[in-house]
Amino acid sequence: MASLVLAEHNNAALSDATAKTVTAASAVSTPVHVLVAGQNCGAVADAAAKIKGVEKVLLADDPLYAHMMAETMETLLLSLAPKYDAILAPATTDGKNILPRVAAKLDVPQISEIIKVVGPDIFERPIYAGNAIQTVEAKLPKKVITVRITAFKAPGEGGNAQIEKISAAGDPGTTKFDGEVLSRSERPELTAAKIVVSGGRGLGSAENFKLIEKVADRLHAAVGASRAAVDAGYVPNDYQVGQTGKVVAPDLYLAVGISGAIQHLAGMKDSKVIAAINKDEEAPIFQVADFGLVADLFQALPELDQELAKRGR
């Protein structure tokens, strides 16, 4: 049959997570179709049509899908499900919010956060905060899958899929969107950045977190944080890297003032290079860091900033 990939977007731009999910979908069942559901999201559909390996883009452009609420998305996906033997979404908060509803109504288990497609029916997924990898066989009439996007590469552009407009599928009327407060930042998106500079409880305050931001800006990096720093209110929740926050795998992850609890390591240990600055030389972060500097961050961060400036960054 075919795979259906739920596109991740903000109505204006398509997220890179979609293309990476297409890569996973291509290994499960082909051809691959992408569903773009949103409002005034024609540009997103155009971008999805360019992803290599996509045969068709379904565009549901309707006010009902402006915020991709789980309940209306469930109805839409269920209306399309008969034509597909696999439905996939990136394991973003939208994907995690929506897909379990679809799986439950199709009476199949969901396969969460796959990191590898071993075969069309066999998948690897991390469990216990990534401290174990489970290989599961899913011989199911339909597969509903969320994809850990750091584990898959985007297929690149070069596709020329047709775009088919589809109509809205109804509203169960249980849930209403009532506003959002989104972090605005000129910095790269955390899960897509090549460099991430993260701060932990060691920063001590929201004010001091600016030291992290300054260094991040010199490196054109995204800013992340440990749970402790978010809980303490130094930075917003969407900065959190870890088992239950965001999973990142940049070329460089620089952890500053982060001790390295297993829950945090779960979100960053697939980074290409890990560097850590911590004054406690016994901190567990040093057990996974390629380069460790035992130092007081309040001295090291300004020094780092100056040294980067000196080197023309």
Partner 1 sequence: MKVLVPVKRVIDFNVKVRVKSDQTGVDLANVKMSMNPFDEIAVEEAVRLKEKGKATEIVAVSIGPQQASETLRTALAMGADRGILVKTDAEVEPLAVAKLLKAIVDEEKPELVITGKQAIDDDCNQTGQMLAALLGWGQGAFAHRLELEGGTAKIEREVDGGLQTVEVKLPAVMTTDLRLNEPRYASLPNIMKAKKKPIAEKTPADYGVDVTPRLKVLKVTEPAKRSAGIKVKSVSELLDKLTEAGVI
Q: Which of 27, 70, 80, 154 binds partner 1 (CB under 8 A)?
A: 70
Q: How far apart are CA 226 and CA 183, in angstroms?
A: 17
Closest separation in Å from C-beta 33 to partner 1: 23
Q: What is the C-alpha to C-alpha distance for residues 14 and 5, in angstroms, rounded to an integer?
A: 13
Task: Tell me phi and psi for residue 298, to 5 degrees.
Answer: -70, -20
**Ranges within 253-312 binding partner 1 (CB under 8 A):** 262-263, 269, 272-275, 277, 281, 286-295, 300, 303-304, 307-308, 311
Bridge partners (DSSP) of residue 273 are 252
Give the range of 25-33, 57-65, 159-167, 233-241 binding partner 1 by CB under 8 A: 233-241
Q: How far is the CB of 244 from partner 1 (least distance, A)?
A: 6
State which of positions 201-230 bind partner 1 (CB under 8 A). Answer: 219, 227, 230
Burial of 271 (0-12, 13-18, 19+ CB in 10 A): buried
- Residue 119 binds partner 1 (CB under 8 A): no
Residue 161 binds to partner 1 (criterion: CB under 8 A): no
96 binds partner 1 (CB under 8 A): yes
Quick note: the x/- pattern for partner 1 over 2-41, rule CB under 8 A, is --------x-------------------------------
If the CB atoms of residues 4 and 111 are measured against partner 1, the closer one turns out to be 111
Using CB atoms within 10 Å of the CB of residue 12, give its burial: 0 to 12 exposed, 13 to 18 middle, 19+ buried.
exposed
Instruction: Report the sign of the C-alpha dihedral through residues 275, 278, 281, 283, in that order.
Output: negative
Beta bridge partners of 24: none
